[in-house]
Amino acid sequence: MSVKHTTEKALQMLRTLPRVTIGNIRDNPQSKQNSKRGRGQHGGDKHGAGNKGSGQRQNYMRLGYETGNTPFYLRFGYEPYYKGHHLKREYPPISLHQLQKLIDTDRLSTRAPIDLTTICNTGLFEIRPDLLHHGVQLTDEGVDDFRAKINIEVQHAPESVIAAIERNGGVIRTAYYDPHSLYAVVNPKKWFEKGVPIPRRMLPPQDAVEYYTDARNRGYLADPDQISQERLVLAQKYGYALPKIEDDPDYAMLTEAKDPRQIFFGLNPGWVISLKDRAIIKEKQ
Is 187 or 56 the better-scoring residue by pLDDT?
A: 187
Q: Are strands 171-174 and 151-154 parallel, antiparallel or unpaired?
A: parallel
Domain 86-281 has CATH 3.40.50.1860: no
Helix 159-167 to helix 224-238 angle (10° resolution) is 90
pLDDT in tens, 232-283: 999 999 999 999 999 999 999 999 999 999 999 999 999 999 998 899 998 8
13-17, 29-33, 55-59, 134-138: segment of lowest average pLDDT: 55-59
Q: Quick one: what percent of the chain has pLDDT higher than 70?
A: 95
Give the confidence band of 120 by pLDDT, cuts at 50, 70, 90.
Answer: very high
Q: Are 157 and 138 in contact (CB under 8 A)?
A: yes
Interval 208-230 mean pLDDT:
95
- Give, in order, the Cα–Cα distances in Å from 241 to each of 92, 249, 255, 280: 31, 18, 19, 44
- Residue 129's nearest CA partner among 181, 197, 194 is 181
pLDDT in tens, 158-217: 999 999 999 999 999 999 999 999 999 999 999 999 999 999 999 999 999 999 999 999
Is a pLDDT exceeding 60 seen at residue 229? yes
Give the confidence band of 44 by pLDDT, cuts at 50, 70, 90.
Answer: low
Is 151 or 36 the better-scoring residue by pLDDT?
A: 151
pLDDT of residue 256: 93
pLDDT of residue 38: 57
- Residue 125's nearest CA partner among 149, 99, 151, 156 is 99
Would you kindly state where each structural domain of the chain is located, as residue ranges? 86-281
Q: Are strands 93-95 and 137-139 parallel, antiparallel or unpaired?
A: parallel
Q: Are 174 and 212 in contact (CB under 8 A)?
A: yes
pLDDT in tens, 125-146: 999 999 999 999 999 999 999 9
Give dist(CA 200, CA 268) in Å, integer: 8
Give the confidence band of 157 by pLDDT, cuts at 50, 70, 90.
Answer: very high
pTM over 0.85: no
pLDDT of residue 23: 81
Q: How many CB atoms lie within 10 A of CB 68?
A: 5
